[in-house]
Amino acid sequence: MILSILFIFSLIFSFSNAAVQDFCVGDLGLPDSPAGYLCKKPAAVTVNDFVFSGLGVAGNTSTLIKAAVTPAFAAQFPGVNGLGISMARLDLAPDGVVPMHTHPGASEVLIVIQGSICAGFISSSDNKVYFKSLNKGDIMVFPQGLLHFQINAGKGPALAFVSFSSPVPGLQILDFALFANDLPSEIIEKVTFLDDAQVKKLKGVLGGTN
């Protein structure tokens, strides 16, 4: 009886030479595709491909913004490749700030684990600001591609985890996009209406040239 069922078991997929695709752990050494990294061979996949411990460690907040973002996107955690989801950790020391930024490819949901955080986003249709102070256990959703920010609203450190609707959400931090590259100051001023002194000051701080 055992034998015959086992026999069936192998028969059921008599034509299957490669089987179905339950997951596609990214192989970062192969070329990328528009849908994500190419897949590691299934035989080489272990449970460790689906587990990531990098978010268990606080990021370094001994910095000017007094905050750190630690991503677990497909590039750091190849197990999420192709699965439509990823995460990151936010650490905010007192007065810490995650500066104004967007995720070009994903919506985000944030959960406060410790402390309190003032978070907000700005709609594109009418420039309306949606912001609120969030406490431990509160969650907030940030629609895809919109400018948003997080500020430590308490006296102690704050900790939050964020999840994204894509394994490659992207992260475009406004100040770095404007001031941490070689885009000529003249162009920046034209397209942002900022004063020359302001632009040059922030370029100086953030390492921009031209």
Binding-site entries for oxalate: 103, 108
Rounded-to-integer distance, Cα 73 and Cα 79, Å: 9
Q: Is 137 in the site for a second copy (CB under 8 A)?
A: yes
Rounded-to-integer distance, Cα 86 and Cα 26, Å: 13
**How near is the Cβ of 100 to a second copy at its closest, in Å?**
4
Q: Which of 93, 158, 171, 185 binds a second copy (CB under 8 A)?
A: 171
Q: Is 157 in the site for a second copy (CB under 8 A)?
A: no
**How near is the Cβ of 90 to a second copy at its closest, in Å?**
11
CA distances from 37 to 32, 34, 71, 86, 165 (A): 5, 8, 17, 14, 17
Q: Which of 94, 129, 155, 156 binds a second copy (CB under 8 A)?
A: 129
Q: Is 44 in the site for a second copy (CB under 8 A)?
A: no
Which one, of 60, 78, 77, lies nearest residue 69 by Cα?
Answer: 60
Q: Is 31 in the site for a second copy (CB under 8 A)?
A: yes
For 145-178, the DSSP string reads: T--EEEEE-SSS-EEEEEEESSS----EEHHHHH
Please give the annotated binding residues, written as ranges. Answer: 101, 103, 108, 148
**How near is the Cβ of 85 to a second copy at its closest, in Å?**
4
Rounded-to-integer distance, Cα 39 and Cα 23, Å: 8
Cβ distance to a second copy smaller for residue 115 or 121: 121
Which one, of 138, 165, 172, 167, lies nearest residue 52 by Cα?
Answer: 167
Using CB under 8 A as the binding rule, the residues of this chain from 63 to 122 that contact a second copy are: 63-65, 68-73, 75-77, 79-87, 97-100, 102-109, 111, 113, 118, 120-122
Q: Which of 60, 94, 155, 156 binds a second copy (CB under 8 A)?
A: 60
